[in-house]
Chains A and B, each alone.
Chain A
Amino acid sequence: MPSSNKLALRELTQMGILLAGAIALRLIENTLSYLMPLPGAHLGLANCITIIVLYLYGPKKAFLFLTARIILVGLLFTGLLTPGFLIGLGGALFSFLIMALGSSLAVLSPVGIGLLGAFFHNVGQILVAMILMHTTALLSYLPVLILLGIPTGFFTGFLAKLFLDRLRSYWENK
């Protein structure tokens, strides 16, 4: 529940914890990275956290969160400005844009946002890869990634919703 545009200390602490969670999820994804067709392509499990932040703090602060996450991942895993970094960046930015728009429309629950997020995450990744490699041949990866994106998007959205619902009922019962 965004209070103001300024970051309260409590919010900062909370986001810090969530950021750690996102990095942990990314670590888990990395163990599966050899299965991916592109360098830096990943399932997008950390999106779950992004959705939570989006709903809790609003798009502006969530964007800040995302930036922090991207830089951290770049420093820890892919290296800054490497192709893997750029591919992940493209996916993350594109999906964030759509998710922010989607959540502001208030038609979808976090599950729908998660699905959209995963879909556009993959589309973003492929688009960046195609620009980097000057070829449209990579489009053939899209159906597989979209198919993978459906369950991951569903899971991330579902988990985010679960988390948010629990949090809401916690605050309501306090």
Chain B
Amino acid sequence: MRKADYLVLVALVLIAALGYGLLALRGNSSNKILIIKHDNAIVERIALKGVQAETKLSIPVKDGTIKIRYDKNGAWVESSPCPDKICVHQGKITKPGETAACVPEKVLLAIEEPAKEAEHDAIIK
């Protein structure tokens, strides 16, 4: 092996290390994913980053229809046929890990991030 070979080897290792480092830093919440579940099945999986304008989404549920709205920052329940409207009062969820749920209609909105760079494994509420 010649000296130049060693140089190439070292250079590649450095590049790989740099790549990993950048990847670790980049894991912020720009790639938020909106997950909508109805009755424990995922009905929608939307990458919020690509969302241009505010979008409406209706989910038929046992007592009527739940209307959801989302934009590139987050999502919220606009209206629901449930009696307490806790889901509507939840407001807009924007951060990964946040959820809004309509328990009577079994609908769940959740924001997730694909790269788990979260500081905590769980929050006890």
Contact = CB atoms under 8 A, between A and B. Distances in A.
In-complex A–B contact (CB below 8 Å): yes
A137 B27 CA distance: 12
Interface residues of B, number: 16
B67 to A, nearest CB: 30
Interface of A: 107-109, 111-112, 115-116, 119, 137, 140, 142-143, 146-147, 149-150, 153-154, 157
A154 B9 CA distance: 8
Given A109-B4, A112-B5, 14 more contacts: A108-B8, A109-B5, A112-B7, A112-B9, A115-B5, A115-B9, A115-B12, A142-B19, A143-B20, A146-B12, A147-B20, A150-B12, A153-B12, A157-B5
A111 B8 CA distance: 9
A142 B12 CA distance: 12
B9 A107 contact: no
23 contacts: A107-B2, A107-B4, A108-B8, A109-B1, A111-B1, A111-B5, A112-B2, A112-B4, A112-B7, A112-B8, A115-B5, A115-B12, A119-B12, A119-B15, A143-B16, A143-B19, A143-B20, A143-B23, A146-B12, A146-B19, A150-B13, A150-B16, A153-B12
Contacts of B31: 137
B12 to A, nearest CB: 5
Contacts of B19: 142-143, 146
A116 B8 contact: yes
A148 to B, nearest CB: 9
A157 B9 CA distance: 12
Nearest to A107: B4
B69 to A, nearest CB: 26
Contacts of A150: 9, 12-13, 16
A65 to B, nearest CB: 23
Contacts of A149: 12
B124 to A, nearest CB: 31
Nearest to B22: A143
Contacts of A108: 2, 4-5, 8
